Amino acid sequence: MMRHHIAELDRRLAERWRQGRMQILAWNSYGARLDLLMLSTSHLHDAIARDPFLMVGPRKFSYARMRRALQTLGLRPVTIELPFTPGVDLPEAAVDAAVRRYGCTEVQHRGIAGFEIRGIQKLDPMQAAQATAVLWSRVVRARQLLVRSGLDIDLVSQQSGDTLLLWSRQIGHKSDTTLFALLLLVLADATLDRMTEAEAVAEAQAAAAHAAAIAAGVTPPPAPPTPAQQAAEDGLDPHHGSGLVAAFHVGSHVEMYPPEGDRPGTIPVAMGEAVRMIRQMLTIATDDQLLIGQFAAPLAEGPIRQGRIYRMVDTPRFISHAQGLLDRIEGEKMGGAALNRLVTYLTGDRLIEGVFTIKRYELDRPDGLPCRFFNAKCTLHRLNAPPVFLGLQNERIRRAPGTTTVYESPQPQPAMLWPDDPVSDAEPSASAG
């Protein structure tokens, strides 16, 4: 019966959507009556200018929030009489998810991970398809590893050329830190594979040189040092690379649902500030580099509520919180050895033994807004196996883009989000507003 109710609601919403000419931005219910806030797609930008938080948060508005929005925009609600009662015969979450597909939704704080396969433009179509399929398989394996560790994540993906964007359907601090852990596991998987391939090639070349020397009746030459041995002689960490460039940022973005047939689909696309930051970082990053944007994210789970005060953490503290999740992956197998610990940190200059600064990079984006970010590195410790290094050391960064400064991490500060349109708990549906 619930499936029938969802299908009926979807049919009614599709009729009023008018093949994308209208946007359904909010809803509320009175018994079996569903009130919708709708406006023309061509007027969406003007409406947001008048009500900046119109697309933010759950699509179910409180009674007072709906009334204020309609008055601000000079609209009347569009009413649908349903053969069932929302919230009774069909959960409010299902109604909210259905309405969300017929409009735009802004998420103010959500983590997005981005990957770019370097050199894919130079490959022929079949090679490019193979490289993309390999990346997808790494994402699936990383997610399965997280699930075995009790860290499930409901992923959404967006592929554009050589760039793959990932984010979680869930909203909240834990979802974002879990996504960051997944990004590191994907890089670890790629690096371990390349390390295995490099070692196999080196062994084959050494064996061929040995056999050729014996056939020629001369003394076989000593085996050349492996990349890891050469790096140790140079005083550097052994670096095999992942073949990927990765970036992570927590920020705002807008979700829309492209049509599938004559109705919106179920997979959203993302655009906005967070996506622009990811693309900018991927553009300026060098091979095998991991960049993380400068951001402030609330320590909260679920959608942000109006008029509430949240504790905000910056990028270094976000990394510290993510480390707590990474420690739960201990004992899982990667590259033929069990994981001992995955440690990540932001790079900088060494002051004294064991004490480092944090370098922050800043440059202007094409849209004129600043792009501030950090270089990150991760060390994968394994039992009975040498450590594996992800990302680039500070010494390996060939050039510092833009302006470089030393970043001082401030103490976490509380902040009220959406301060100009608070909703009091005395209003009928404030918890859903």
Q: Which two tokens stand for residue 278?
A: 């990811």
- How does pLDDT run across 29-80, given as a tens digit for each residue? 988 999 999 999 999 999 999 998 899 888 999 898 999 999 999 999 999 9
The verdict on 171 and 80 lying in the same domain is no
The verdict on 354 and 400 lying in the same domain is yes
Residue 383's pLDDT band (cuts 50, 70, 90): confident
- pLDDT, averaged across the chain: 83
The verdict on 60 and 143 lying in the same domain is no
Residue 352 lies in a domain: yes
pLDDT at site 430:
33
Is there a contact between 35 and 29 (Cβ–Cβ < 8 Å)? yes
Residue 227 lies in a domain: no
Q: Which domain holds residue 261?
A: 108-191+239-416
The verdict on 92 and 115 lying in the same domain is no
Listed in sequence order, the residues at least 6 apart from 195 whose beta carbon sits closer than 8 Å to its beta carbon are 240, 335, 388
What's this model's pTM, rounded to 2 decimal places? 0.86
The verdict on 142 and 90 lying in the same domain is no
Is there a contact between 377 and 390 (Cβ–Cβ < 8 Å)? yes
Residue 358 lies in a domain: yes
Is there a contact between 219 and 213 (Cβ–Cβ < 8 Å)? yes
Residue 129's pLDDT band (cuts 50, 70, 90): confident
Residue 314 Cα distances to 187, 226, 229, 251, 421, angstroms: 23, 40, 38, 12, 25
Q: How many domains does the chain have?
A: 2
Least confident span in 129-143, 196-210, 228-242, 393-407? 228-242
The verdict on 53 and 121 lying in the same domain is no
Listed in sequence order, the residues at least 6 apart from 281 whose beta carbon sits closer than 8 Å to its beta carbon are 114, 247, 249, 291, 293, 371, 373
* Rounded Cα–Cα distance for residues 229 and 238 (Å): 8
H or E segment to which residue 309 belongs: strand 309-314
The verdict on 377 and 346 lying in the same domain is yes
pLDDT at site 372:
92
Cross-strand pairs, 372: 362
Residue 317 main-chain phi, psi, to 5 deg: -75, -30
